[in-house]
Structure 1
Amino acid sequence: MGKIAFFRPDDERATEAAEIVRELGHEPVSDPMLEVDPTGEAPRVDADYTVLTSKTGVELAADVEWEPSGEVAAIGSPTADVLRSAGYAVDHVPEEFSSTGLVSHMRDMVEGSRVEVARSDHGSPVLTDGLEDAGAYVHETVLYRLVRPPTAGKSVELAADGELGGACFTSSLTVEHFLDAADERGIRSEAVAGLNRAVVGAIGEPTAETAEANGIDVDVVPEVAAFETLAEAVAERL
C-alpha cells in the first residue's frame, strides 16, 4: 500500500476521490489545492450558445436560476451530467473532453453567433480564442475564482520526506499551487525530487505540460480525463 495524494476541492469530490483510492488498495492523502471563491456573476441569457466547463460553474449558474435562451454546451460528460441533474438540456458535448475538443465540435456552427463562455478565472484561452477564430462573437463571464486554501500543503511535506507513493494532478492550477505551497515552506527542490521518486499522474496533456515545465516527471496521462481513470492508472503503475 502506498500513499496517493490528490488535490480536489474539500467537498464531495475529495470524499469520492478518497473512496476511489482506498478501493484501489492505497492510502488516500487529500490535500485540497483549490477553493472556490464565487464572483456573484451569472451567465448571460441572450447567447445563441452557452458553454459551461465545470460542475462548479453549473451549480453557481443554477443557484441564481439562470435560464439560457439558446443551446447549451458542456466541455465533457461529467459537466453535462450535472447540467441535466440541475434541469438543463444539453445540446453539445464533444468527443474529446477539452477546450480543443469543444472548439473542434462547435467550429462549423458558431460563425456569426453569440457565444457565452461561463467558467473560472483560470480558463484556457484555447477555448475563447478558438471560438473567435471560428467567427463567433465570444463573451466570457467569470463565475468564480480558484484560490489556494491556506491549509494546503501536507502532500508537499510528504513528498519532500519521501513518503508519497503517487500523486494525481487534475489541472495545471493544482500543479502550480502545489509548487507555491512548497515555495512557502522552502522545500520546493525536495518536494519535486520526492514527486520524481513517486508515480505522478496528470489528467490531461496541458496538466502534464505544466508539471514537466516545472521539473516534475509525469508517469501517466490516461486517455479518459476523469479522476477515477487517473487514480487507476497511478495505482496500477505503483
Structure 2
Amino acid sequence: MKLAIMRTKDKAEESVAMAREMGFEVMFASPLELEELDTPAFWRFVEELEAGRVGRVMVTSSTAVKYMFKLLEKRGKATSVFTLLNRRGVIAIGPVTADAAKAKWLKVEAVPEKFTSDGLVRLLEGKVSKDETVWVIRSDQGSDVIRKGLEAMGAKVEEVPVYALRRSEPDRALLDMYYFTVHGGIDAFAFTSSMSAKAFIEEGERKYGVREFGTSLNAAIIGAIGEPTKRTLESMGIDVDVMPKDATFEGLLKALMDHIRQRE
C-alpha cells in the first residue's frame, strides 16, 4: 500500500519512519517550505513578557515552538524568556506541540481535548476575563478561528507569527508525486494541512487539468488530518474518506490503516 505524505521537509524523517513502521510504502514530498520570521511583533511580545504584562500564551504547533526558541537563542534570551513563561506555562494545541515544548523545558499549562484551533477556543470558555490579552504564537498562515473565538468572549488577541509557510518550487520528489497521482501507483494520500492540500492540488491542476487531476486523486483513498483540511479538500472537489478523531499525524496514519484493513 503506497501512501503519499505531504509535510514540510523538517518532518520528513520522522514521518516516513512512522508510516513505514505501520506498514506503508511511502512517497514523501513537500509543496511548502518554512521561513523564519524575525519581526517587531515577536520582540514586542518578549518586551511585554519581561515587563510582566503577558498572561495566557497559546502555541499552535511544534514548529512554532521550534522557531520561537531559535529567535530567542539568536539574542541569547531563550533561558530567561522560557523561565518567565514557565511561571504560568503555555497552552499547547495538542500533544505533539506539548512534547516539543517540554523538550525545550517549557512548561505546558493545558492541552485541549480536541487538538484544533476550535479546541483551543473551547478550552478557554468561561475562563477568559473581559479585555484580557491572549498571545498566540503561530505561523503567518491559518484560520482566524482562535482570534474570532476569543474576541467573542471579550478577550484581546495578539497574534505573533514566528515562521512563514511558502509554496516551494517543485523538486524531483514532488514532481514524481504529481506524475504517479495521475498515472497510477499511489493508493492513499495523507493531507496534513489546508495549505499543503491547496498548494498540491492547485499545482497538479495546472499541470494536468482540473478534471484529470481531480479524478485521479478521487480514485485513491484520501485522508485529512482535521476539519479545516477536510473542508479545503471538499471545496476543491476532493472526496475525503478518512479523518481521525484526534488531529495528529499519527492519528491520521492509524485511521488510514484501519480504513484500508476494513476494505480488505
With the length of structure 1 as denominator, give the TM-score of the two structures.
0.92
- Is contact 2:31-2:169 (8 Å) kept? no
Equivalent position of 2:3 in the other structure: 4
Once the two structures are superposed, residues 148-185 of structure 1 have per-residue CA deviations (whole angstroms, 9 ceiling, x without a partner) of 22124432221111221000001111110111221342
1:88-134 deviation digits (Å, cap 9, x = unpaired):
11112111111111111112222231111111111211101111111
What does 1:69-218 correspond to in 2, within 5 Å?
Answer: 69=85, 71-111=89-129, 112-151=131-170, 152-218=174-240
Aligned residues: 236
Secondary structure of 2:102's aligned partner: helix
Q: Conserved in 2, the CA contact under 8 Å of 1:115 and 1:138?
A: yes
Q: Can you list the C-alpha shifts for 1:72-97, whole angstroms capped at 9, x where unaligned?
A: 21111111111111111111211111
The farther-off stretch of 57-66 and 181-190 is 181-190
State the alpha-carbon separation in 2 of the partners of residues 17 and 91 from structure 1. Answer: 27
Q: 4+ residue runs of structure 1 moved beyond 3 angstroms?
A: 66-71
- Corresponding residue for 1:36? 34
Match of 2:253 in 1: 231
Question: Which protein is bigger by CA-based radius of gyration?
Answer: 2
Q: 1:14 is matched with which residue?
A: 12
Distance 1:106 1:153, change over 3 A: farther
Gaps of at least 5 residues in structure 2 are 73-77
> Structure 1: which amino acid aligns with 2:232?
T
Amino acid at match of 1:26: F
Structure 1 pair 103/125, CA: closer, same or farther in 2 (3 Å)? Answer: same
Preserved CA contact (<8 Å) 1:5 1:168 = yes
Please give the per-residue CA displacement for 1:32-75, whole angstroms capped at 9, x wherever unaligned: 12211111133612321111101111011112124455542111
More helix by share: 2
CA distance in 2, matches of 1:91, 1:35: 30
Aligned alpha-carbon RMSD (Å): 1.7
Q: Would the aligned equivalents of 2:60 and 2:93 in 1 still touch at CA under 8 Å?
A: yes
**Alignment match, 2:75:** none
Q: Percent identity?
A: 35
Give the residue type in structure 2 aligned to 1:202.
A
User: How far apart are the structure 1 equivalents of 2:206 and 2:63?
Assistant: 28
Equivalent in the alignment of 1:57: 64
Give the TM-score, by structure 2 length: 0.84
Paired residue type of 2:151? E
Amino acid at match of 2:100: V
Separation of aligned partners in 1, 2:23 and 2:102: 33
